Amino acid sequence: MPQFSTHENVSLEKEVEVKRAIIQTNSDVIEEVYDIAKCVGWIRENGFQKVCLQFPDHLLPDSSEIALRLQNILGETVYILGDTAYESCCIDYVAAAHINADAIIHFGPTCFSKTSANVPYLNVNEKLPLNALVFGAALKDHFECIGTDFVVVLDDGYIHHYDDVCSVLQGLEVKKINEETLDLIDKNVIFIGNNQRKLMNIDLNFKPKTLHYFDPNQNPLAFKKFQVDSKIIKRRYFLMEKIRDANTLGIVIGTLGVENYLKVIDRVKKLAELCGKKYYLISVGKPTVAKLANIGEIDIYVMITCSMNEIYDSRDFYKPIVTPFDVEMALNPNTSDIKFTYDFNRYLNNLNDITSIARNENETDVSLLTGKLRSNRPDSISEEPDNKDLQMALKSDGSLALNTNFGAGYLSERSWKGLEQNLGQTEVKMAEEGRKGIAQGYTNEQI
């Protein structure tokens, strides 16, 4: 029955996309690469007893060796976080809280996001190869005139080359990507690295005069100019109209480790209430297409997550995914002076008070997507504030209607509601032997 089943070779031969190549470090240099001595000194200096080690997927092959070496030196147990709750670039203090960890050591790439964690942590960056002399010669060959407004920025994997780069580029400003006071506004930026998502965030957050990047692993070596795809900016206007058309927002919690994530969630909730829109707060761990597809009443999803998350670019979801910025621009008519960025901490503290937003319920406008009239009136059905589960509701014209203006009401209108208990409605029977085999073909089925 090939039309009803899939051959087993499809699963066995399926290729899984890996974002980065798996790394297996030579045991002779693993202590130097992962700064074991630095980690031991940090743990002993602070007297930590329960320490968690967090690795991205491509560094997991080295995780057990590092944990064993730390345990042998410290004489205490260290824990490996098997899977991060959200993004591996953010400190996962939620998983560490399962064992009441004293501290976290994070290995690998990091992001721009400020952490909301109250657990002490140490970042240990990768150590990627870079020939500072070759880079300096290539820089002088590519740029004829290098002025004082040029800044070289080292990605986290090349920070250990900072002194070498400074000695080669004497008189030129060199910065590390993890500096607290990183200021690249109106600068000619040379970025050493090839992380396209990080380059996009630099361009959106700092608005440099020009942005070039240099990939030491590329052959031949070259400087490439980076520009944000104009489609990303144009898509913001489309998504703003989708937000205005939506009746129900799904606020998806995509992080618990980014600073002010609770503050931006409250901001989105208040904007939705002021504009007469319903919202649901959704927490499903790492958001996937299958998870979010289970909630059919949502018109659009607002993703609260790290700025390095690539979910905003995905086209696999059944409903659009928007940023808190899109919601702010769509529902707050008094906001016009903020620029688009995936990092909500860049503008959150500069937003105006939304309690003064007033909408005339008698005014209407036209949707630019559907061409239909769009009313400012929240809903034509008035709900009783003290009992939101009333089955009957009073319409504005005085007639009665079934009230489905809540999640349970929406579920009641579905033709299939999933597995039901039907307590007291099912006849009690003795246990019987069921079918044997697999779903592809049970033993009692004729082929």
Verify that 242 and 367 share a domain, yes or no. Answer: yes
State which of 204, 225, 246 marks the end of a domain.
225
Q: Tell me which amino acid residue 67 is.
A: A
Number of independent structural domains in the chain: 3
Does residue 281 share a domain with residue 178?
no
Is residue 2 one of the residues assigned to a domain?
A: no
**Boundary (domain end) residue, out of 353, 375, 397:** 375
Say how far apart CA 407 and CA 21 lie, in whole Å: 44
Contact 125, 110 (CB under 8 A): yes
| Same domain (yes/no): 366, 241 | yes
- Give the residue ranges of the chain where pLDDT is below 50: 1-5, 16, 380-386, 388-389
Residues 101 and 51 sit within 8 Å (Cβ to Cβ): yes
**What is the rounded CA–CA span in Å between residue 211 and residue 144?**
16
The pLDDT value recorded for residue 386 is 47
206, 316: one domain: no
One domain, residues 217 and 269: no
Q: Which pLDDT value is given to residue 381? A: 41
Phi, psi (5° rounding) for residue 134?
Answer: -65, -40
Q: What is the per-residue pLDDT for 1?
A: 42
CATH number at residue 214: 3.40.50.11850
Give residue 104's pLDDT: 93
Q: Is residue 240 located within the same domain as residue 369?
A: yes
Q: Are residues 172 and 119 in the same domain?
A: no
pLDDT in tens, 277-326: 899 999 888 888 888 888 888 999 999 998 888 888 888 888 999 999 99
Report the 10 Å Cβ neighbour count for 344: 24
3-state SS, one letter per residue, for the chain: CCCCCCCHHHHHCCCCCCCCCCCCCCCCCHHHHCCHHHHHHHHHHHCCCCEEEECCHHHHHHHHHHHHHHHHHHCCCEEECCCCCCCCCCCCHHHHHHHCCCEEEEECCCCCCCECCCCCEEEECCCCCCCHHHHHHHHHHHCCCCCCCEEEEECHHHHHHHHHHHHHCCCCEEEECCCCCCCCCCCEEEEECCCHHHHHHHHHHHCCCEEEEECCCCCCCCEEECCCCHHHHHHHHHHHHHHHHCCEEEEEECCCCECCHHHHHHHHHHHHHHCCCEEEEECCCCCCHHHHHCCCCCCEEEEECCCCCHHHHCCCCCCCEECHHHHHHHHCCCCCCCCCCCCHHHCHHHCCCCCCCCCCCCCEEECCCCCCEEECCCCCEECCCCCCCCCEEEECCCCEEECCCCHHHHHHCCCCCCCCCCCCCCCCCCCCCCCCEECCEECCCCC
* Distance separating alpha carbons of residues 106 and 113, to the nearest angstrom: 14
Position 347 in a domain: yes
Residues 302, 346, single domain; the answer is yes
Tokens representing residue 263 in the block = 């503050």
Interval 179-231: pLDDT, tens:
888 889 999 999 999 888 899 989 988 889 999 999 988 888 889 999 888 88
Q: Are residues 213 and 311 in the same domain?
A: no
**Token code pair at residue 13:** 């031969």
CATH number for position 276? 3.40.50.11860
User: Which of residues 335, 360, 375 is at a domain's end?
Assistant: 375
Phi, psi at 292, each rounded to 5°: -75, -20
Q: Containing domain of residue 148, as a range?
A: 132-225
CA distance 36 to 71: 11
Residue 1 lies in a domain: no
Q: Is the pTM of this model over 0.85?
A: no
Residues 264 and 353 in one domain: yes
